């Protein structure tokens, strides 16, 4: 099971027929994208994993043309623009020295989402890049501009080096879940419930990542089920430096862990490492402001088989309704799909831990809500608040 942060995502954008698919094939050295002289061959975003020397594994996303037209073209364009929220770096392809309104709009969108980018002039074997085109580009952006040919692979090394210099280090470096929270030789007690949602014969990704992170920080793991906590604490002389549990077990675990012992959850730890933690902290207390008729959005990172006791679709809505004593409406959006209504329709947005998506993707999903002043929270922080241990759960991450 993967126990490290997910790989950086790199989006390839441009008009129809500028050679985006051919560019990806040249970069990867494999024909992974369909190449055709017919404009609009790429309809939906296509993802391809590759290894970039000096960065490591990465995901390239081939998108439909930004100049697509018609009703179907508008839908394709919407999917292309949605990809911007998911990528860590964008490569804007142009050809034939065409740079105009389409590219300018795209660059503004990159800037809105603070996406690092650069421009590649493709098909330079047919028509070299002109100085006037560079001047036109400089009217909109000062990012690097590289000449390239997907046919002859001219300047492919320069493209890769530019990508390495432009992509944020945070996209490919592996942040620590607990660095600064625990120190060498600390004992970390991990409480892992085995319930109806626990996968048969294995641990879920956040638990695996936490175990690995404790080891990476030269600390000591002690892993128990929630039913064994009391016995472990009473029989051993070990005083854990930190206790991490599943957020769903907060109500039970808080009764077993002494108040002086730091306690948090896997979801809260992920909220700190991978999400807008300050926005979560400020947004979560708005649980008390909810009123009858309010609509709540639950954001899941991944698509998964839904059980009758699903945390996002069943438990949190039930707990929130009981906690607020209000008549609330809940929408659930899974994966990185578009929202079903404007963010301003919601009184609160609750994001899952985000273990299956990148930090950039979490921020991309929530940025519009934060800009619009819509309160945002996280599964773990919401559950901690409803259990009256919000301050305790965030304390290990507050310097």
How far is Cα 399 from Cα 42, in angstroms, rounded to an integer?
Answer: 48
Q: Annotate 46-101 with three-state secondary structure.
A: EEEEEEECCCEEEEEEECCCCCCCHHHHHHHHHHHHHHHCCCCEEEEEEECCCCCH
- The helix (run of H) or strand (run of E) holding residue 242 is strand 242-245
The per-residue pLDDT for 58 is 85
pLDDT value at residue 1: 34
CA–CA gap between residue 5 and residue 172 (Å, rounded): 8
| Whole-number pLDDT of residue 5 | 43
For residue 9, the SS3 value is strand
Fold agreement (9-172, 187-269): yes
Alpha-carbon gap, residue 358 to 277, rounded angstroms = 15
Residue 81 sits at the vertex; the CA angle it makes with 80 and 86, to the nearest 5 degrees, is 90
How do beta strands 329-333 and 89-95 pair?
unpaired
Cβ within 8 Å of residue 237, ≥6 positions away:
none
* SS3 assignment, position 351: strand
Domain ranges of the chain: 9-172, 187-269, 277-392
Of 372, 298, 307, give the one whose Cα is nearest residue 335.
298
- What integer pLDDT is reported at residue 358 of this predicted model? 79
DSSP letter string, 271-320: HHHHS-HHHHHHHGGGGGG--TT-EEEEE-SS--PPPTT-IIIIIHHHHH
The CATH topology of domain 187-269 is Rossmann fold (3.40.50)
Provide block-wise average pLDDT over 10 residues at a time, the chain (399 residues).
Answer: 59 93 82 46 68 77 84 79 88 96 93 91 94 95 95 91 83 76 96 73 86 96 94 92 95 94 96 94 98 96 61 93 97 84 96 83 89 96 97 93
Picking from 274, 261, 222, 287, the residue whose alpha carbon sits closest to that of residue 396 is 261
CATH topology of domain 9-172: Rossmann fold (3.40.50)
pLDDT at 64: 87
Q: Rounded to 5 degrees, what are φ and ψ at 243?
A: -115, 130
Class of domain 277-392: alpha beta
Among 178, 394, 366, 337, CA closest to 276: 366
Nearby residues of 199 by Cβ (< 8 Å), 6 or more positions away: none
């Amino acid at each position: 099971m993967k126990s490290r942060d997910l790989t950086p995502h790199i989006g390839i954008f441009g008009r129809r027929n500028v050679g985006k698919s051919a560019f990806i094939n040249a970069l990867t050295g494999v024909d992974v994208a369909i190449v055709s002289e017919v404009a609009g061959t790429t309809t939906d975003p296509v993802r391809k994993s590759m290894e970039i020397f000096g960065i490591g594994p990465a995901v390239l996303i081939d998108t439909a043309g930004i100049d697509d037209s018609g009703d179907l073209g508008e839908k394709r364009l919407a999917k292309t623009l949605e990809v911007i929220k998911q990528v860590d770096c964008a490569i804007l392809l142009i050809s034939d020295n065409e740079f105009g309104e389409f590219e300018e709009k795209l660059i503004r969108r990159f800037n809105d989402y603070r996406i690092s980018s650069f421009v590649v002039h493709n098909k330079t074997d047919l028509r070299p890049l002109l100085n006037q085109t560079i001047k036109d580009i400089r009217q909109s952006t000062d990012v690097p501009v590289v000449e390239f040919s997907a046919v002859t692979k001219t300047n492919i090394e320069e493209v890769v080096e530019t990508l390495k210099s432009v992509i944020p280090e945070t996209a490919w470096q592996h942040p620590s879940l607990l660095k600064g929270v625990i120190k060498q030789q600390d004992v970390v007690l991990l409480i892992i419930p085995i319930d109806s949602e626990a996968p048969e014969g294995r641990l879920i990704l956040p638990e695996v990542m936490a175990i690995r992170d404790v080891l990476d920080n030269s600390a000591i793991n002690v892993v128990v089920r929630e039913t064994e906590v009391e016995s472990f604490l009473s029989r051993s002389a070990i005083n854990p430096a930190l206790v991490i549990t599943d957020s769903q077990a907060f109500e039970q675990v808080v009764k077993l862990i002494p108040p002086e012992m730091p306690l948090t959850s896997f979801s809260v730890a992920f909220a700190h490492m991978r999400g807008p933690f300050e926005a979560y902290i400020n947004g979560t207390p708005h649980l008390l402001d909810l009123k009858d008729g309010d609509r709540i959005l639950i954001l899941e990172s991944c698509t998964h088989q839904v059980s009758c006791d699903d945390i996002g679709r069943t438990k949190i809505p039930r707990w929130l309704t009981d906690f607020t004593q209000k008549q609330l409406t809940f929408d659930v959006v899974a994966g990185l799909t578009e929202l079903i209504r404007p963010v301003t329709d919601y009184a609160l947005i609750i994001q899952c831990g985000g273990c299956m998506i990148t930090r950039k993707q979490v921020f991309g999903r929530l940025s519009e809500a934060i800009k619009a002043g819509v309160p945002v929270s996280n599964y773990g922080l919401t559950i901690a608040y409803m259990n009256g241990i919000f301050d305790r759960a965030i304390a290990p991450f507050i310097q």
